[in-house]
Structure 1
Amino acid sequence: MLLPEEPAILEIRHAVRNWIAEHCVDGVLAVALSGGADSLALAAAAAAEARSVRALIVDHRLQPGSAGVAATAAQRARELGCASAEVLTVEVSGSGGLEAAARQARYAALDRARGTRPVLLGHTLDDQAETVLLGLSRGSGGRSIWGMSEYESPWGRPLLGVRRSTTHQACAELGLSPYEDPHNSSPDFVRVRLRTEVLPLLEEVLGGGVAGALARTGEQLREEGAVLDAVAADAASEAVVNGEIDATVLALSAPPVRRRVLRGWLLAAGARGLGNRQLRAVDDLVARWRGQGPVAIGGGTPDARLVVCRRRGRLNVGLEEQRRV
């Protein structure tokens, strides 16, 4: 399909072109397509800029008529020039709420279907601003407000510098009517309220430019975080000995470096749901040792909890049986 030389679609094409040049030089990729404006404009631009594009459409089966929506999206992908289009039907279940369960099912299906191709996602600058705000609300350190990466294999996000309004305008330039997911306007979801209530209010009170400022903040923190991660990797190579932490060695590192080492070590040991309070309690075993007892962390089994103990100057992770009442 020959795309028009209009401002919005050209901006999106340039963003996709730059992403391909940096991350996918062979131009063989997949696009996650929902039929909404963001992913539809992305699919059109990718089909024009990449050598081969495979459209992947996930049908969550959460709404009546979802199969028809998915089939329409697949047809549009072929009309836009995608080499192929496949509908992936998933079962949404699990803990953490509907939004989280749907996301988990969607990413798993995309990962299975992509083969060796990276998958482009239609996240925009507005999505990035929402992500940074959500991270800020958790108060769990700089990492939580990094936002999304332009490329975190296999997921690519070429549109993180493009406004949502631009993708809608691009669809208008292409003569396409994007699908409007009712979930995207439901106040039952936190992201929707951020999008429709919080960010507009911030823009009004602070005089505009808030979404861009939040996105830039996330990017700057992510760049600085990458440097700290590299320093932490060097510290871990000295402090982690046979799966244990040498507390005396690690105590010489600065607090952000220590906590990065501990976080990676705990996750590798099977910790789950690791929060700021737990991480700081473990850090106290290193830097503020007063003979305190074991620190319980998320993980373990129904009969035994996962704990971190300090013995003879070393930290280790192990299971401790739950006391029966």
Structure 2
Amino acid sequence: MAALAPPVAAIRVAVRRALVEAPGPGPVLVACSGGADSLALAAATAFVAPRLGRPAGLVTVDHGLQAGSAERAAAVARWAEQTGFAPVEAVRVHVAGRPGGPEGAARDARYQALAEAGRRYGASAVLTGHTRDDQAETVLLALARGAGPRGLAGMPSRRDLAGVPLLRPFLDVTREQTRTACAVLGLTPWEDPHNVDPSYARARVRSDVLPVLVAALGRGVLDNLARTARLVAADAAVLDDLAADALAKARVPAGSRAGAGGATGARSAGGELVVSTLAGLAPAVRTRVLHAWARELGAPAAALSHRHVAALDALVTDWRGQGAVHLPGGLRVTRRDGHLVPA
């Protein structure tokens, strides 16, 4: 018996670990564009899932941004059906008009489609093919934006996607391994032209920045960037837990403000917050509380930035009688009678 090629073994081991942890009896759905990373993920899942007694389906998303995208999505779907995936679906999404620039808009549309497919089929999880190299790029982009720990934590290996678990089995697998695995398995990946389009920041990091870092610091720099994300993510998770507890303690109890200038704790989904409680928190916890509260009020995550949270924080720590803070989504927050109040 021929020895199994190490890259093929690596992708299968990674998928097996993910499927063992996937909750529930529903199918796992592979998100597959036809590129090397997601094609390797699909191939590994097609091998591993039946051996674990797990049903596996596949969803390919057509963003409609390139000529021939519908035909390419249909070809991926046909391959998936022939490989034994069920269910299989090619989903067309509309990117135009979404916030966040072309990359962010396409990503939001894709994740929305994957979440809807996951709920439609009762999926136990959705799998994506993000690799260690993608994680390194994410950390560098976060550094360039001046992101805090949440950005430097990169992509989590597991997250909730609108009620559906999203798993990233390949965060410890390299892009080179997925490409080699495809070659060994006789698979021909699609080369997305956006991946080398210099108008996209991630493409510039991939083609220009990372090669310079590797040349200057060695191949270990990619592992180190990915390790940084894991370490920061662990710390950020603790801070997020502390912030969740602090947010609960800072809330004005429902009904306790009735009759005080007409305001009530039920004025909005997020209620009101007690300024004196917020002021006693460590800054790293307080800003997380304010960020989470703004999200509860309805501020879109993609548009909620550091400057918005800093303005809310100033209502607590640098109060000079300033006016309302304007948040994304047409929201306003004021300070009144020792409380932060959504207006």
Check whether TM > 0.5: yes
CA apart distance, 1:27: 7.3
Given that residues 35 and 192 in structure 2 are in contact (C-alpha distance below 8 angstroms), is that contact kept between their aligned partners in structure 1? yes
Q: 1:82/1:206 Cα in 2 relative to 1: closer, same or farther (>3 Å)? A: same
Deviations 1:224-268 (A, max 9, x none): 111111111111111111211111112111111111111111121
Q: Runs in 1 of length 4+ with deviation above 6 angstroms?
A: none
2:145 maps to 1:138: yes
Deviations 1:207-236 (A, max 9, x none): 332221111111111111111111111111
- The equivalent residue for 1:168 is 179
Q: Equivalent residue of 1:177, what SS?
A: coil
Which structure 1 residue ranges, 5 or more long, are not aligned? 301-305, 319-325
Deviations 1:11-63 (A, max 9, x none): 00000111112234647300011111111110011111122111111222322
**Among candidates 294, 300, 305, match of residue 266 of structure 1:** 294
Choose 128-137 or 74-83, whichever is displaced more.
74-83
Q: Distance in 1 between matches of 2:323 and 2:177?
A: 56
Between the two proteins, what is the percent identity of the paired residues?
A: 50
- TM-score, structure 1 as length reference: 0.90
Q: 1:264/1:55 Cα in 2 relative to 1: closer, same or farther (>3 Å)? A: same
CA apart distance, 1:294: 2.7
Given that residues 151 and 157 in structure 1 are in contact (C-alpha distance below 8 angstroms), is that contact kept between their aligned partners in structure 2? yes
2:241 maps to 1:230: yes
- The equivalent residue for 1:303 is none
Q: 1:297/1:61 Cα in 2 relative to 1: closer, same or farther (>3 Å)? A: closer
CA apart distance, 1:91: 2.8
Deviations 1:258-295 (A, max 9, x none): 11111111121123422212212221221233433332
**Among candidates 284, 288, 293, match of residue 256 of structure 1:** 284
- TM-score, structure 2 as length reference: 0.85
Given that residues 48 and 81 in structure 1 are in contact (C-alpha distance below 8 angstroms), is that contact kept between their aligned partners in structure 2? no
**How well do the aligned residues superpose, as a CA RMSD in angstroms?**
1.9
The 5 Å alignment of 1:1-325 reads: 5-24=4-23, 26=25, 28-50=27-49, 51-95=54-98, 96-114=100-118, 115-117=121-123, 118-153=125-160, 154-241=165-252, 242=265, 243-272=271-300, 273-300=303-330, 306-318=331-343
CA apart distance, 1:140: 3.4
Number of equivalenced pairs:
311
Q: Distance in 1 between matches of 2:33 and 2:122?
A: 21
Q: Equivalent residue of 2:61, what SS?
A: strand
Q: 1:251/1:52 Cα in 2 relative to 1: closer, same or farther (>3 Å)? A: same
Choose 82-91 or 211-220, whichever is displaced more.
82-91
